Amino acid sequence: MTLATLSDVLQPALKDGYAVAGLVCLGWEDMLAYVSAAESVQCPLILQAGPGCREHTPLPVLGAMFRHLAQNASVPVVAHLDHGYSVEECEQAIAAGFTSVMYDGSRKPLQQNIDETAHIAQLAHAAGVSCEGEIGFVGYADGEESDGTDPSEAAKFAIDTDVDAMAISVGNVHLQQDDGDGLDIERIRAIESVTSVPLVIHGGSGVPEAQRIELANTSAICKFNIGTELRMAFGQALRDAVGSDAKRFDRNAILKDTIIPLSGAAQSVLRTMGKH
């Protein structure tokens, strides 16, 4: 059994100078591809169920899927709730067998974010589950603008919430389809200097690969969330699978053809995490 909590995989990463990928899942085929990729690269993996995934599939089903894959994997696998927006949602994830929950109060005033995140961290820890919080809002490509993390607020947030990982806003953007301008290294160093909590980058698809590798090896950033670039890889694989035989209609046969190319794309991502 290789089911792991977020702390189980991030504390060694922080100590030994590498990062772990949080791969955003939408269905069975990508979950399967990501675990296969992690086994090929021989590195830990965080399977993430974000709001879009939860809208499509109920949390208890996702928990069972994640746990089944983790329990049969040869590498540590974390079952992680990404962007939980309420106590109830985080409680449901814990009850469904998730080993890690991320509460996103980043749009809220600082003290409210701290109080709510601390409450969820306490609930999670009582159940043997890890908790990730977010300080500083990470914006969206062609959407809401980011509000960069203030290092002094990050220090207070880390202490007062007792989170196991802290997502920060340092030039990263959700749903970015190509490399951006890179992250704000000066701000990252300032945050690192005032906290020992493993740091998390949401919107990791928009971080240039070379910078991702460098930060995985030389900073307290221990988790990069990757979604968009792998969803793009899945979309291309699905188009190829559908187009390969106009007479084919069985969805299982079509979707099965996406697993190998998606696993290959995921392996490329995992190799930028610095463990190998």
Q: Rounded mean pLDDT of the chain?
A: 91
**Nearest CA-CA partner of 133 in 113, 150, 112, 153:** 113
- Tell me the C-alpha to C-alpha distance, in Å, between residue 89 and each of 13, 30, 96: 28, 23, 10
How far is 26 from 105, CA to CA, in rounded Å? 23
Contact 142, 172 (CB under 8 A): no
The domains located in the chain, with CATH, are 3-273 (3.20.20.70)
Quote the longest CA-to-CA distance of the chain.
Answer: 60
Burial class of residue 191 (count of CB atoms within 10 Å of its CB; 0-12, 13-18, 19+) = buried
Average pLDDT over residues 47-63: 94
**Nearest CA-CA partner of 81 in 38, 126, 130:** 130
pLDDT for residue 265 is more than 70: yes
**Nearest CA-CA partner of 102 in 211, 206, 214, 6:** 6
Residues belonging to the active site = 82
pLDDT for residue 254 is more than 80: yes
How far is 157 from 152, CA to CA, in rounded Å? 9
Q: What is the pTM of this model?
A: 0.94
* Exposure of 79 in the CB half-sphere (CA atoms within 13 A): 26
Per residue in 131-178, pLDDT tens?
A: 999 998 776 657 666 667 899 999 999 999 999 999 998 877 655 556
- Tell me the C-alpha to C-alpha distance, in Å, between residue 167 and each of 11, 28, 110, 163, 266: 15, 26, 14, 10, 22
Model pLDDT, residue 211: 87
Show the DSSP H helices in 127-218 as ranges. Answer: 151-161, 185-192, 209-218
